[in-house]
Structure 1
Amino acid sequence: MARTRWPKSTVAYGSLRIGPPRNQLKRTIGMLPTPDNSECSRQTELLRMLAKRSHYAREWSLFLEDYPLVLSPFLPQPFFKPDRDTEGAEGVHEVLGCAVYSYAMNFLGLPAACVPARLAELPNGLQPINVQIAARRWREDLAVDAAAAIEARVGQMCKPLWERMTRSD
């Protein structure tokens, strides 16, 4: 069955009018103070950003109709060391700035699960390498089932990490 593709110019909002009659509204607006240009530009920029978010959410929704799960790295770099965010501005930037895949899914309102896929011996020691599985809206069950399947296949990474932590104490 062919899927209907809506043109990008389609507006998904209705035209329901709520409020006072138009002439009363004009009089009310005329009595309100006019915001300065900086306030107007901030409001315009907010509307632009909301429109971009809606555009990206729609594009992802269309993509996820054909591919119900998307596998991505959780971080584009090795995991940061514990308490890195307490080491000043650079540490906070590293911790918060590197989770771009996670932020993207949250920004778009898509459910995602994160699971360690393997342990890697890196210069900072043994560290988990995580993957993220994103799913369609309202289908967090698919993301969680996929994460459980990965964990069943590769095993729980917390056990070797805990063993190593207890040996180093």
Structure 2
Amino acid sequence: MNGARDSALSQAVRLREEGRADQARERLLDLTERYPEDAEIAYQAAWAHDVLGLEAEAVPFYERALSGTGLSRDDRHGAFLGLGSTYRVLGHYDRSSATFRRGLEEYPGDAALSAFLAMTLYNLDEPRDALREVLKALAATSGDPRVQSYRRAIEYYADNLDEIV
């Protein structure tokens, strides 16, 4: 471990969490220059850019974070959500869909990834697939006893929306 790196990264994250994202961004840009292969720093830099509404500038940092190693499982999940959402906001729907699908390969059944994929599928004019994602996420994660009592039916019809008898 590198104590100076860890301390500088912690300080930058703290600045972002305190609402001083501009200062965090500056420190993180410096850190990305000093540690260009560091996935954790790249992820935090992407996040700082997103917080500031600098989505296009966040993309290369998210990509670097996901192509590297060393992210915690939670941060890697967050990077998939961040990059996929950023692509969607920028109108890059195919890239967004591919990112969320890649995330779902690593985190099967993840409701957050499914929900954001559903939004992207809507943008891609694929409402049937979007609804399927939402229904499956609802069935898998709802604590509502009524939803759970119909879980198998909801999951079945999510894949068979046009079925009639």
> TM-score, normalised on structure 2?
0.26
Q: Which has the higher helix share?
A: 2
Structure possessing the higher relative contact order (Cα contacts under 8 Å, 6 or more residues apart)? 1
Larger radius of gyration: 1
Q: Which has the higher strand share?
A: 1
